[in-house]
Every structure is written in C-alpha cells, then in structure tokens.
Amino acid sequence: MKKIIILLGLIGFIATSCEDELTIFPEDSLSVPTFFQTEEDFTQAINGTYAPLRNLYDQEKPFMAEMSSDNTYFARNTAFGATENNQDIADHSMITEGGITPNGNVQELYRDLYRIISRANQVLFTIDEAEFDETAKANIKGQALFLRAFAYFDLVQFFGSVPMHLEPVLDREGAALPLSSSDVLYTQIVSDAQAAIPLLPLKSEQEPGRVTSGAAQTLLANVHIVLQEWAAAETQLKAVVNSGEYMLMPNYEDAFSGNSSNKNNMESVFEVQYQEGADGLQGSFMYQFLPRPIEADEVALLFGTADAQPINGQGNNIPTPDIIAAYEDGDLREDGSIMYIETRESFWNDGIYPIIKKYVEPHAQHNNHGINFPVYRYAEVLLFLAEALQEQGKDGEAITYLTQVRTRAGLGAHTGDLGDAIFRERRVELAFENKRWFDLLRTGQAISVMTEFGDRVINNPNDYYLPEGVPAAGNAFTNIRELYALPSSESELNPNF
Amino acid sequence: MKKKSYRISWKFLFVFGLLWGITMQGQDVTITGTVASASDSQPLPGVNVLVKGTTRGAVTDFDGNYSIVAPDANSTLMFSYIGFTTQEIPVNGQSEVNATLIEDATSLDEVVLVGYGTQIKREVTGSVQTVDLTELADIPVTQVTEKLQGQLAGVQITQTTGKPGDGINVRIRGQLSISGGSDPLYVVDGFPIAGNINTLNPAEIEDITVLKDAASTSLYGSRAANGVVLITTKQGKAGQTNISFNVSTGIQSVPQRGRLDMMDAVEFAQFKKEYYEDQGDPVPDIFQNPSQYEGRNNDWYDAMLRTAPMSIYSLAVSSSTEKFRSSMVAGFTDREGVVLGSDWRQYTLRANLAYDLSDKIQIGLNVAPSWVIDRDPRTDGTRGQGILFNALHTWPIMPIFNEDGTRTEFNRFPADTGNIFAYANWLNSAERIKDKTENLNLLSNAYVEYKPIEGLSIKSTLNAEFYRSNYEFFSPTNATYRINRPIPTNNEAIWDTRNTFSWLNENIVTYTKSIGEHNFSILGGFSFQKFRLDRDRLQASNFADDRLPVIQGATDINRNGTFNEIEENSLVSAFSRLTYNYKGKYLLTAAVRADGSSRFGSENRWGTFPSVSAGWIVSDESFMENSEAISLLKVRSSWGITGNNNIGDYTQYALVDNVIENRTANAVFGDTFAQGAAVSSLSNPNLGWETTEQFDIGLDLSLFNDRISFIYDYYTKNTTNLLFEIDVPRESGFEDFSDNIGEIRFWGHEFSLNTVNTTGKFRWTTSANISFNRNEVVALADGIDQVFGPNNWHITQVGQPFAQFYGHLSDGVYLNQADLDSSPQVPGRSTVGSIKLIDVNGDGVITRGGLNDDRAITGNPFPDFTYGITNRINYGNWDFSVVGTGSHGNELLVRHLFSTTNLDGVFNLLKDVENRFRSVDNPGDGFYGTTVGGGRVTGIERDWINDRFVADASFFNIRNITLGYTIPKLEKYFKSARIYTSIQNVYIFTKYWGGPNPEVSNQNDGQGDGGNLQPGVDLTGYPVPRIVNFGINLNF
C-alpha cells in the first residue's frame, strides 16, 4: 500500500510539473503578443499593408472604375460560358436587391480595401507603444495613415456608406459595425490624410515606391476636389507643384512604368508596385485586358514571352469607339494609349481589336508581369490644379497648368469652355487609369453619360465587340446606379445592412 | 510479370526448404487417431493437432483421422478447432489417441480488450465489438479498415476511391463535426497513433476491437468522441511454435458495370453537327460527316485503364519458451494500379517480444518498421486537376495515337470547332508525371509490468512513433495534368517531406480484489504524450532539363508553395476506472479522465470526461436458470462525456503570417523586395474540445447454447461546442473566428445477429448487422442558422440533417414560348428549351443566392441504414465465405455533369445528351435543355447546381467471396496447408447512374476530414477494381 501512495504522489508531482508543457507557441508563425515590438516588425507590418493593392489593381478596380465607364467595354467571346461578374459591371446589369449584390468583383474589392484598413489599424494601434527610432516611426505611421485614408476614399466613392473601423478587431463581437455616412467617412479621410502629410518624407527622401508627403497631399487634394473644396485643394496641389519633386516626363509614353524599368519615375506620385517572377508580387492585369480567344503566338508577339499560352474566357477593359474618338487630331497620347492587335480565332468581325497600350511591356513569363499601375501622376496634379483654379474663377492661372499637359501631348491651346476642356483633358490624359468613373460620378454625369452610352451599345452591338447578329445582353444597362451595392456576402454577416 | 513469378517461386522454395529441415529433425513415436464432435459424433476434418511444447502438428483429414509424430510416448496432444473447446490429452504410451471435442459454450468467458485493460466479455457493460482478423485473412486488400467492411454494426466504412492504399473512410455511429476531424482514434497495442493507419500490415494484426459508446471510450477522454479502434498485434502464445507462410497473387480489373456511357466519335460528331445546325451556324468541316469517324473512336477513359497484378506475401513466426515469447511477421505487398502509372508497394516487419524476468516482473518490446511506396499520377480530382476526369471528357475524335502508332502529344482543334482547350495526351501524363509518396513508419512499444502481490499490477509503458513521409512530384515539359496546356509546357516540381515524432509515457496501476460476492477492480493512470511534425515543402518550376528535376536546375522557386511547417502539441492526462460486480451478474463501471492539452485555450486548458455504465445479467437470476433456451440475457446501459480534440494545434492564437489566404504579404518597392507580415487570425483563449454526451442502452441475448447470439444497441449523442470557424465580416480584415459553438444530435439503432446454422462436418455460420444512424443539427452559432459547404453545393441548416445537398429544383425544360411566357424565368437567360427551375419563393423570378434565393434542399448524402452480412461454410476440408455490404437511402451529387453534359459542346458528353431538347417539335426527354444560346443560356443548367445532379446511391455490394481447400495429405510436412481463391468487389447491385462507385466521395478540397461540409460528391475518381486472387497458406 505504501508503494501505491508513493506512486500516486509521484504522479501528482509529474502532473503539476507538466503544466508548463501545455503551453506551446507556434514555431512556424509569429503571434500577436510577441510581434509589433521592433522597427523591423513594424516595417514588415507596413509592407504587408501595401500588399492588397496588388490584387485590387489587378482586376477589381480597373473593372469597377474604368470598365464601368464609357472608356472601355467587355469583349464578349460567344464560344465561352458567361462570366457574369465582369460583364454585369460593363453592362450596368448587376443584380442589386435591397442595396446588396452577389457580384464577385464587388466582394473582392471590398475585401481588399478592408485588408488594407485592418493592417493599417494594427500598425496605428500599437506603434505608439513601441520604442524605436522616431523618424522611422513617423514614416511608418504616415504610410499607414495614407493607406487607410486611401482605402476609405475608394470605399466611400464606390459605396457611399460603409462600416468604419479605426482599431484592430479582436473578437467576433467587434467585427461588424454599423454603416458610417459619407460625411463621417470623409471627415476621417481628411483627418488621416492631413495627419499623414507632415509624417511622410519628400519623394527624394523616401524609398522609391513608398508613399510620400507629395502622395498624401495629392490624395488630400483629390478628396477636396470630390467635396468641391476648391481652395483647400489648390493649397495642397500648389505644395506638390512647388516641392520641385515632380515633373512631366518629356514623352507621354515614358510616364508609364516598364516591366522592370522606369518605375516611380519623376512624373510618378504614387503607383502600385509589382515585380515579375514567382514570388507572388507579379501583376497579370494586361492579360485581363485582352480580347479572347487569343492564340499563343499572338500573345507572344504582343509581350515577347517565351512560354506564351493561348487564352480563353472573356475579354475585359477593351477601349471603346467613344474613347478613341475623344482624342483630338494630332494628340500623341492616342498612339501612346491604344494599339490594335489581331486575333485570328475571334468571332468578332475581322478580329482586330483596340487594346490598352499603356501597360503593354515586354516581359518573360506568361501571365506574370512587373508593370506598375499608376495611381497618381504629376500630370493629374496639374489637371487637378487647373480644375481647382478654374472653379475659383482663376482661369488664367488654370490655363498655364492645362497647357503644360497639352503641350506634351503635341497639342496647342484648348478650345471652348475651360471647365469642359479640363474635363475632356482628364479623360484622354488619364484614360485607363481608373479615373473616368469617379470623374463622371463627382461631376454628376454618371447616369446620363452611361445611359447614352448604353443606348449606343444596344443599338450598335457590333461596334461594341459583339459578333455580327449577337445583340447586347437582355439586361444590359438596366441598372445604372451611382453607387455600387454592398457585397451580399458581407450583408449576410453584418446585421447592420 | 514473368520475372515476378520467378521471384515468388524462389522465395517460396527457400522458405520451404528451410522449414523442411526443421520438421525433419528427430522422430520417435507415431500416434494416430480420430477426432469427432461430442454433440453428434460426426468426424471433424481440419482439426489442428499439436504435440504440446513442440512445433509438431498435424491436421485431421476429411474423415477426422490424423497421424502425428511425437518425440516420446509421454507427450501431450492438443486438439483445437474453431468453435470447439481446445482439449489436451496425454499420450501415456498409447499409439492411438481419439478425441471428442465439445462445442465451445464458454465463449462468454472470453476476454475482450477494453481501454487500458481487458474484461470478461460477459461482464462488459459498454458497447464493444471485436473482429478476429484471422477470419478475414484471405480478403485480398491492403488496408486494415477495408477488411472490416460489413463486419461491425454502427461502423460505416466506405471506399471513396479505388486508389491503391487510400480512400477508406471510417465513421463510428455517424459521428461528424463541422471542421474538427471525425476519424476514430486508432490505438495500436495501447498506443494512440498519430500516423496513417494504412501503413499497418493487416497480417500483423490479431484482432480489432471497436469501442462505440461513451462508457467504453471515456478513458480516452478528449480524443474519444469519434469512437476508438483498438488494434492488437500478434503476440507469441504460450506453448506453441508456429510458422506460417502466406502468399497470394491476383489480377485487378475495372468492371464494365457502372462505367459512364459517353458518346463515341460518331455520336459526338453528330452532336456537334446538330449543335451548329440548331444554332443556325455553318457546320465546321470536321463535323459535317459524322460517319467518317466510324471505326475511329478514341475511348480516352478506357485507354487509361489496364488489368493489373497484385501479390501479397507474409511470413509469421511465433515461438515461446517458458520465459520468452516472440512473434515476428514480415510482409511484402506489390500492387500495381488499374490506372496507368499508379502502383503501391509495402514492406513491413514486426517483432513482438515478451520476457518474464521473474514471477513478478515482465518486460516487453514491440518494434514494427514499415515502408510504403505509393505512386499516383494525379488521377483523382475535378476537371483540370485529375487526369481521369480529363480523359473522361476529352473529345473522342481526338486521336490517342498518330497514324504511325506513336502517341499524340496533345490535341487542339481550331476555335471555330468549339474546342477551347488544348488536351494533353493523358496516357503520356499518367506515365510521365512522377507523383510518388514514400512513407517510412516506425512504431514501437516497450513496457515493464510488476505484480508485487496477487491482484496488483503496476505497468509503465514507453511508446514512440516515427513517421516520415516523402512526397515528390515532377511534371516534365512533355506532360501535364491540367487542361489547356499545349505540350511542351512548363515543367514543375514539388518536394514535400514530413517528419512526425510522437511519444507517450503511460503509468498504470490496477488492483483486483474480491470480497465475498463483491468483485472490484480499480485502475488509475497517468500519461504524457507529445507530438511534433516538421514539414519542408518546396515548389519550383521551369527546370532547364527534364532529366534533372533537381532544385539547382530550377529557374523559379514558387514562394507560395515553399514553406516550413511545424506542428506541436502535448497532452497530459490522469484517468481512473472502477469496475464492480456483485455475484458476477450486477455490473457497474465508472471511469473518468482529465486531459490537459496545449491545443486548448489558455483560459480553458483542462477537460474532464466522466462515464458510468451498468449491466444486469438477467439469465443468471434464479428465475431464468432453468431456461434451456437462453444461455445469456444481459441488459446494459451507459452514459458518458467524451471529447474531440482535432481542432488544430494553434487555433487559439492570433498569428502573424507572411502568407494570408494564399497571398503573400510581401511587397516590392521599386526593385527592392520587402518582407511583409500581417495578423492572419483572431485569437480565442477560451477555445476548447468538442464535447459529446452519449447515452446507450443495449441488450445481449444468446440462445440455444450460443447457437444464436443477438446484440442490440440504441444510442443517442449530443455533440456540442463544435469547432467552427465562424465567418466574420471582412470589414474586420479577417475571414473567421474559431469558436466552439452549436449542437448536433445523433441517434441510432444497431442490430447484430450471429448464428451457427449447422455444426459438425457441414458447419455454416452467419453474421449479419444493420445500423440506422441519424443526425440533426440542433443549433449553430448565434445569428447563424445555416452554413454552406465550400462550393455551395451543400447546406447545413438548423433543424435538418447535416450537410444536405442544396440547389435549385427543376421541372424539365420550357417546352414552348407559351410555357416560357407563363413560367418564372432567369432574367435575360431563360429561353425556349432551356432548363425550367422552380420559383421556390414565389416572387415570379428565378434567383440564385441573395435575399430572393430559390434554392432548396435537394437530397441527403447520409444513408437510412447500412448493413453487412457474412456467411461462412466449412465442409470437410473446404471452406467458403461470402461478405456482402450495403447501404440504403443515401444520395450522391453527380458533380461531374457540369463537364460531362456541358451543352456548349466543349467536352465529350454522356450519351444521354442525345435526348436533349432540340426544338418545340423535338423536345427530347426533358432532362437536357437546348444547346442554342451559348453559356448565358446553357450555363444555368450546369453551373446552377440543381436536383438533377442528385442520384440515389443505394447499393448492395458482394464485397468478397472466398473458397478454400485444406490439403489433407501434406501433414507430414506441414501442420496445415491450404489453397484458396478470393474475389473482391464481386458485383454491386445499384441504381446509381453517376459512375461506377456508389461509395465515392470526392471532397475536392483534398482535406479528407475537413471536407465534412461537402460529403457525397462524385467527380469520377479512381475506379474500384475487382480483384481475382489465388493464395496458399502454409503452417509449419
């Protein structure tokens, strides 16, 4: 019996000492309590905050902000099953019930923007507690504020009201917030962008590709312009112009990034950074922007890839006859922006389609390129400034900025109403840069312009890449709305909408 | 093949010669005699006769006669025979010893294995069932679990794919979970293993005991909720030396029954011709004259298949001396697959040793290494992932061979033929793609047991399992498993190595004591188990030379597929059981286990799992003692709580990761790579195990001296705290929050019946079982009353059974304009002749998803009942057995229809599509709609999963027939020699039309267990072969 007691005692002893054995932290991942301590941690965290931009600009945003406008349209491949998600955006035929939609692009865009926001929140929430170099800290904090403001600015323009998270979510209860009005959102966006400006370094002092004080000023000016706060916009834009950090590239075509060269050039204010290769940092948006079916040799001819593959499915973001007609005679930008390719297997007419040329750059691997996507260029800063000045009646000054842009395009003085001229100039200068839909929206023309555009498509389907005899979809242009409906997948989870 | 059979005979002769030498040593006295049955005095053939303490044995012939050589006239002979009590008779100098064997009426005093010990079978109060694996030895399968099919009530064992060495799914009492694992806990010689049960060679196993109710399993605490399978390997038996050699060899082939009836080249060309005609388009040249394809059909699927040989060898040696017992088994299995390029080989060894250091101390050691090499060139999977699926829907006008007899490399026709994908030659893919897994497993147990006083035992064990799996994949430039990849394409490789190490220390004290009529047994124990997995995965592509698929030859490393993974967990437990009975007829057992696990949240570290059970042997009461008919009547009942800790190792933590939702968090700035990270999950310090509370009531009844025995159980279980990744709004930046939520109720009835129909020379036994398992989702999370499967083909809804098929309801096609005009439509998509879906919510429009969803439950993947029946007949030297299994009322989702009935003519189609709607005057049979209108019209039919995809998959499968003959004239050389033939998967009776295997369940995500929300999906996996096998058993 004594032996049993000793044994039981021993068991009890082992049991208590084993308590430590029950705490095992993962070795192949870091976990929150041990992370967010050092400069290196926060550098990784801010880098991770940029990452969702790649996916956002690879398809959802070009579809929702460009293909939804009269600049580009969907190229229907009748041999292929429908890909309604994209076509419904081009056709403004998205199903919206009670302010929500199952459209996959809307869902992905929403997710990507909130990925940016939650990662920025994680940085902003913990960075003040951490102890490391104050300059580095300010820089990281500035980038986080910019990215959060940028994401909410997209959200408010696409959706109007959305939930506003300013702190990291820690549990299930905190995950769903009520919708904040656009006023509340804009107040926060302005406040974040303002806070970011003094924290961020000038472009010349920042690592190329990261956001700068100039980028934050341009973002803030953009917000003011949407809110029609012209003087405030002018102040920010003047600061950018006077910083001496930017100038137009002499040649329009050189304003855009190559596959691995000419990135973040002197005209670039901010662009989404990609890199070709197998690291998952690549873009593939130019492949989205091709008509189909397209043969391997046609792809190879275009991109110079060694392993070109034929591509099937549906074509997206194909320049419309409308944008082609919008270029004035002699505008060098038409050739810089649009080119024509032949697709032998296409069912549409002779198979010669216009495509977006800005982003056609030779690269090595199929469906994998390193071309950066422009977000803000100095040319837009000049056009914003011209617009802000013109709106305040400072036409003379406005014209000087407009002229800088037109001169590079090989054009002389503008004709007609200055306001209209600036708006037209934006369309051609910034074509295919995800600006057109937002421009129509903020000037109140979205519904009228798209209704007229829809009539043209329905009446002349063959001009809009539908094969002879194939009409536009039955529901095309039946649901033209200023605001995108919120994703239904979110509505199922958030009781507030 | 020729080479192989040469090898067989060489090995055979070697062993044979060796043993010949052993048996030829020293001969003294020859004894002869006859053995008969005590009940009817009939001679008994096939009785084992053994000289006690020697290796000398004989078997009685057809007339019950035997002849044996004993070393001296004072030897003792042992007579043993299945179903009879073993008898020992001293020779006492006689030259003739006759024996009469008594039918075994004492089987109820059999001892059965229960958790952490054994119990007398009649005193067991839980629901426990044992299968003697030696009875199933002839079934020519390589997985232990496959042999158990049809043998156990309440245990559903399905063969989800025919891939050699893979795809057996075991569910005890229908247990399932939303996202936790649902496989039972496998315990091999007391050691809960972490590796793959399929690496265990069935020849090493003596018997398998399945613990079903909470009273039997609760000693396994937080791992017991899915049921426990106790596996006992062969141990040396006192007083016997036995050498047994088994070899079997056979041929596997895919039966014709159930294969999908696809269009041949002529039919396909005709379909395409009609497609263009109906569309009003010019018919491409190649379809203008379908009859040109007469005699030029290319059956791609059939070309992927072959008849394949398989061979199983095992050699078992067991011997014992006064103090030392050993059992050794060596096995080799060589199984070629019926799909080109696949095969499976297994090499195993096991040595089980026990030694008595003294009367009080025994030590033991079991060591079992095994090595499995498994090759499968990506046969299973959906379109573009599995080459069988690809082959099935490749156009039959695409040539497999060139004119000169060589294989084509790939096929692609001009786009105006509607061929939008390039197809590699899948035969080349099967042979050229390397997809190999090597598993090296070392299982070992060591123990010391000390019995200081009568009734007291102190046992300490140390168990270790080392499991290494090495996966290599290489797809050269001239092969692909994907579609739309013209050859040559990019080459790619994956290396994936997993090293797992698990060890367990257990210390157990048991004390048994009887005081008067009160019998006690008490057990107490403490254990510590630790598990660690180290995984290195490397994915690379674009190798300069196909002949050098080495990492230094790769141009690109795929970061997303390249990673290290480390998983670690620990489990500290204390447990105790008290067994008490009064007079051996009032039985009571209580048990409890406390588990502390590193997997559980810091605020919820320890779980306690109690159980209690009671039994009453009614037949021992005086009022029943006189009943001649009833030999046992026992009623028993149990209650207990068990857990399921398959919740992942680090689920409780908020992790910071570099890859989130398969996308890297890295960034690039200019040309500079920048390491990135982000918080990837939400933490939950309260996370814990899934809890199952189970109640069981059962009855054991044996009649007519155990000629008929019957077992009935009714159980009800409630599983709560289900691990569930609750979706959270993405505005949080996260996908989900892991929590313990919800409740599923399970209940069921199980019946087992064993009968000895005839005895004596013609002995016929039947065992049959039938189980009815049901489940219902009682609750999910707050605010969530339904969860969809990963592809939205299933719904798990409160108030309904788990994971029901979900989709639209259909009502044929729109027959004409009037029908279309008067019926609800899919706006902009429905046309005359297109599929007509039912407007479930009555809003006049057909909608998929969203607030006005028209989808509904379309079917149930779970059976109403499953059953098994085994008949065994021994007649003289002949033995015969038939095993059948069946399932009734379960349905399958014929998911492959999205390709195999694609009306756009992109793929080859089921022949049935000939009966589609073509015009108002030629509306077809109403199943398939019009091809006119392209994807916007036809896409509804194939992409909006609907009830036409759901098919009844009830079946009865004659799983195995074995016929054996014991050769009587060889006793001079062998204790026994037997030859047999065995056919596996003889025939399936079923109405299932979606493919050959009504048990298929392709969970698509490749997660196995994780696919619980998506059961019963048919993506035409690896076909289950029929095996015709011949074998020899020799015992020395």
How confident is the model over A210-259, as pLDDT tens digits?
999 999 999 999 999 999 999 999 999 999 999 999 999 999 999 999 99
Taking CB atoms and an 8 Å limit, are B484 and A32 in contact across chains? Answer: no
Could you give the ipTM of this predicted complex?
A: 0.93
Higher-confidence position of A440 and B82: A440
Q: What is the dihedral of CA B9, B10, B16, B18, to 10 degrees?
A: -170
Report the chain B residue with the minimal C-alpha distance to residue A24: B598
> What does the alpha-carbon distance between residue A237 and residue B948 come to, in Å, rounded to a whole number?
62
Q: Does B939 touch chain A (CB under 8 A)?
A: yes
A355-380: b (≥16 Cβ within 10 Å) or e? bbbbbbbebbbbbbbbbbbbbbbbbb
Taking CB atoms and an 8 Å limit, are A281 and B729 in contact across chains? Answer: no
> What does the alpha-carbon distance between residue B936 and residue B740 come to, in Å, rounded to a whole number?
42
Q: Indicate if the pLDDT at residue B1006 is higher than 60.
A: no
Which chain A residues contact residue B566 at CB under 8 A?
26-28
Provide the shortest C-alpha distance from residue B514 to chain A (in Å).
17
Q: Indicate if the pLDDT at residue A209 is higher than 50.
A: yes
Q: Indicate if the pLDDT at residue B409 is higher than 90.
A: yes
pLDDT at B1005: 39
Query: Alpha-carbon Rg of chain A, whole angstroms?
Result: 26
Q: Does B786 touch chain A (CB under 8 A)?
A: no
CB-nearest partner of B851 from A98, A309, A474: A98
CB-nearest partner of A47 from B650, B674, B683: B674
pLDDT at B8: 44
pLDDT confidence bin for B1009, thresholds 50/70/90: very low
Taking CB atoms and an 8 Å limit, are A172 and B847 in contact across chains? Answer: no
**DSSP per-residue string spanning B769-833:** EEEEEEEEEEE-STT--EEE-TTSSEEEETTS-SSEEEEB-EEEE--SHHHHHHS-B-TTT--TT
The DSSP bridge pattern shows strands B856-859 and B804-807 to be antiparallel
> What does the alpha-carbon distance between residue B532 and residue B867 come to, in Å, rounded to a whole number?
39
Provide the shortest C-alpha distance from residue A200 to chain B (in Å).
16
Q: Does B678 touch chain A (CB under 8 A)?
A: yes
pLDDT at B2: 39
* Beta-carbon-side half-sphere exposure of residue B588 (alpha carbons within 13 Å): 9
CB-nearest partner of B676 from A23, A51, A102: A51
Q: Indicate if the pLDDT at residue B749 is higher than 50.
A: yes
Task: Lowest mean pLDDT of A240-254, B37-51, B860-874, B920-934, name the range.
Answer: B37-51
Q: In A, residues 292-311, which contact B (CB 8 Å cutoff)?
A: 293, 296, 307, 309-310
Taking CB atoms and an 8 Å limit, are A118 and B679 in contact across chains? Answer: yes
Mean confidence (pLDDT) of chain B: 89
Q: Indicate if the pLDDT at residue B449 is higher than 90.
A: yes
Q: Indicate if the pLDDT at residue A137 is higher than 50.
A: yes
pLDDT > 70: percent of chain B: 95
CB-nearest partner of A4 from B509, B541, B556: B509
pLDDT at A83: 61
Q: Does A31 touch chain B (CB under 8 A)?
A: yes
> What does the alpha-carbon distance between residue A191 and residue A185 come to, in Å, rounded to a whole number?
10
pLDDT > 90: percent of chain B: 64
pLDDT at B640: 96
pLDDT confidence bin for B1008, thresholds 50/70/90: very low
The pTM of this model reads 0.82
From the number of C-beta atoms within 10 Å of its C-beta (0-12, 13-18, 19+), residue B827 rates as middle
Taking CB atoms and an 8 Å limit, are B597 and A22 in contact across chains? Answer: yes
Which chain B residues contact residue A208 at CB under 8 A?
669-670
CB-nearest partner of A22 from B526, B596, B676: B596
Q: Does B596 touch chain A (CB under 8 A)?
A: yes
Q: In A, residues 139-168, which contact B (CB 8 Å cutoff)?
A: 162-163, 165, 168
Q: Indicate if the pLDDT at residue B467 is higher than 50.
A: yes
CB-nearest partner of A35 from B484, B560, B656: B656
Q: In B, residues 533-562, which contact A (CB 8 Å cutoff)?
A: 541-542, 556-560
Residue from B419, B731, B784, B903 whose CB has the most chain A CBs within 10 Å, to mutate: B731
Q: Indicate if the pLDDT at residue B57 is higher than 80.
A: no
pLDDT at A145: 98
Q: Does A439 touch chain B (CB under 8 A)?
A: no
Q: Does A8 touch chain B (CB under 8 A)?
A: yes
Report the chain B residue with the minimal C-alpha distance to residue A296: B486
Query: In degrees rounded to 5, what are phi and psi of residue A183?
Result: -60, -50
Query: In degrees rounded to 5, what are phi and psi of residue B97?
Result: -125, 115
> What does the alpha-carbon distance between residue B894 and residue B891 come to, in Å, rounded to a whole number?
9
> What does the alpha-carbon distance between residue B895 and residue B151 come to, in Å, rounded to a whole number?
31
- Other C-beta atoms lying within 10 Å of the C-beta of residue B865: 18
pLDDT at B705: 83
Q: Does B733 touch chain A (CB under 8 A)?
A: yes
pLDDT at B4: 41
pLDDT at A425: 97
Taking CB atoms and an 8 Å limit, are B731 and A98 in contact across chains? Answer: no
Taking CB atoms and an 8 Å limit, are B664 and A27 in contact across chains? Answer: no
Which chain A residues contact residue B851 at CB under 8 A?
97-98, 100, 488
**CB B744, CB B776: distance < 8 Å:** yes
pLDDT in tens, B990-1001: 999 999 999 988
Q: Which residues contact B7 (CB under 8 A, 6 or more apart)?
A: none
> What does the alpha-carbon distance between residue A158 and residue A176 come to, in Å, rounded to a whole number?
19
pLDDT in tens, B960-977: 999 999 988 776 778 888
**CB B316, CB B327: distance < 8 Å:** yes
Which chain B residues contact residue A20 at CB under 8 A?
none
Q: Does A458 touch chain B (CB under 8 A)?
A: no
Q: Does B452 touch chain A (CB under 8 A)?
A: yes
Helices and strands (H and E) in chain B: how many: 12, 55
Provide the shortest C-alpha distance from residue B1005 to chain A (in Å).
21
Taking CB atoms and an 8 Å limit, are A15 and B524 in contact across chains? Answer: no
Helices and strands (H and E) in chain A: how many: 20, 11
Taking CB atoms and an 8 Å limit, are A18 and B596 in contact across chains? Answer: yes
Q: Does A497 touch chain B (CB under 8 A)?
A: no
> What does the alpha-carbon distance between residue B588 and residue B569 come to, in Å, rounded to a whole number?
35
pLDDT in tens, B518-540: 999 999 999 999 999 999 999 99
Q: Indicate if the pLDDT at residue B14 is higher than 60.
A: no
Provide the shortest C-alpha distance from residue A376 to chain B (in Å).
16
Which chain B residues contact residue A264 at CB under 8 A?
670
Side chain identity, residue B850 = G
Residue from B533, B730, B786 whose CB has the most chain A CBs within 10 Å, to mutate: B730
Which chain A residues contact residue B729 at CB under 8 A?
163, 175-176, 490, 493-494
Which chain A residues contact residue B845 at CB under 8 A?
none
**CB A323, CB A431: distance < 8 Å:** yes
Q: What is the 3-state secondary structure (H, E, C) of B170-184?
A: EEECCCCCCCCCCCC
The DSSP bridge pattern shows strands B343-356 and B361-375 to be antiparallel
Q: Does A17 touch chain B (CB under 8 A)?
A: no
Task: State the residue for tokens 């497999």.
Answer: B400
pLDDT confidence bin for A323, thresholds 50/70/90: very high
Which chain B residues contact residue A369 at CB under 8 A?
none
pLDDT confidence bin for B240, thresholds 50/70/90: low
pLDDT in tens, A39-62: 999 999 999 999 999 999 999 999
Which chain A residues contact residue B657 at CB under 8 A?
29-30
- Other C-beta atoms lying within 10 Å of the C-beta of residue B625: 9
SS3 of residue A253 by DSSP = helix
Q: Indicate if the pLDDT at residue B873 is higher than 50.
A: yes
Taken as a whole, chain A contains a residue count of 497
Q: Indicate if the pLDDT at residue A2 is higher than 80.
A: no
Task: Lowest mean pLDDT of B110-119, B394-403, B811-820, B875-884, name the range.
Answer: B110-119
Q: Does A95 touch chain B (CB under 8 A)?
A: yes
Taking CB atoms and an 8 Å limit, are B732 and A78 in contact across chains? Answer: no
Q: In B, residues 847-876, which contact A (CB 8 Å cutoff)?
A: 847, 849-852
Mean confidence (pLDDT) of chain A: 93
> What does the alpha-carbon distance between residue A238 and residue A221 come to, in Å, rounded to a whole number?
10
Neighbouring-strand partners of residue B805:
B794, B859
Question: What is the rounded average pLDDT of the residues A342-370?
Answer: 93
pLDDT at B23: 41
Q: Does B675 touch chain A (CB under 8 A)?
A: yes
Provide the shortest C-alpha distance from residue B418 to chain A (in Å).
6
pLDDT at B281: 86
> What does the alpha-carbon distance between residue B76 and residue B72 come to, in Å, rounded to a whole number?
9
- Other C-beta atoms lying within 10 Å of the C-beta of residue B220: 27
pLDDT at B381: 83
Q: Does B671 touch chain A (CB under 8 A)?
A: yes
Question: What is the rounded average pLDDT of the residues A77-82?
Answer: 72
pLDDT confidence bin for A474, thresholds 50/70/90: confident
pLDDT confidence bin for A6, thresholds 50/70/90: low
- Other C-beta atoms lying within 10 Å of the C-beta of residue A495: 10
